[in-house]
Structure 1
Amino acid sequence: MDIKTATALRRLRLVSAPEAVSFLLLLCCSVLKRTTDFDAVMVMGLVHGVLFILYAVFWADAWNRTKWPLKRAALYLLLAVLPTGGFFAERALRREVEAGVIAARARREGVVNA
Structure 2
Amino acid sequence: MNIQSLRVVGTIEGISFLLLLFVAMPVKYFLGNPILVKYIGMGHGVLFVLFLLVLFIVCERQKWSIQIFLLGLFASVLPFAPFFFDRKLKKLQQQQDQTSSQ
TM-score > 0.5 by shorter chain: yes
Within 1, Cα distance between the matches of 2:33 and 2:82?
Answer: 26
Q: 2:51 aligns with which of 31, 41, 55?
A: 55
- Runs of 4+ with >2 A deviation: none
Letter in 2 for 1:77: L
Q: Secondary structure in 2 aligned to 1:21?
A: helix
What's the RMSD between the two structures over aligned residues? 1.3
Bigger relative contact order (CA 8 A; separation at least 6)? 1
Query: Which residue pairs with 2:17 in the alignment?
Result: 23
Query: Which residue pairs with 2:7 in the alignment?
Result: 13
Name the TM-score, length of structure 2 as normaliser. Answer: 0.89
User: Offset at 1:16?
Assistant: 0.7
Aligned pairs (5 A) from 1:72-87: 72-87=68-83
Letter in 1 for 2:14: A
Within 2, Cα distance between the matches of 1:101 and 1:66?
Answer: 12
Q: 5+ unaligned residues in a row in structure 1: which ranges?
A: 1-6, 107-114
Aligned pairs (5 A) from 1:29-108: 29-39=24-34, 40-106=36-102
Provide the aligned length of Structure 1 versus Structure 2.
100
Within 1, Cα distance between the matches of 2:33 and 2:11?
Answer: 25
Name the TM-score, length of structure 1 as normaliser. Answer: 0.80
Bigger radius of gyration among the two: 1
Q: 5+ unaligned residues in a row in structure 2: which ranges?
A: none
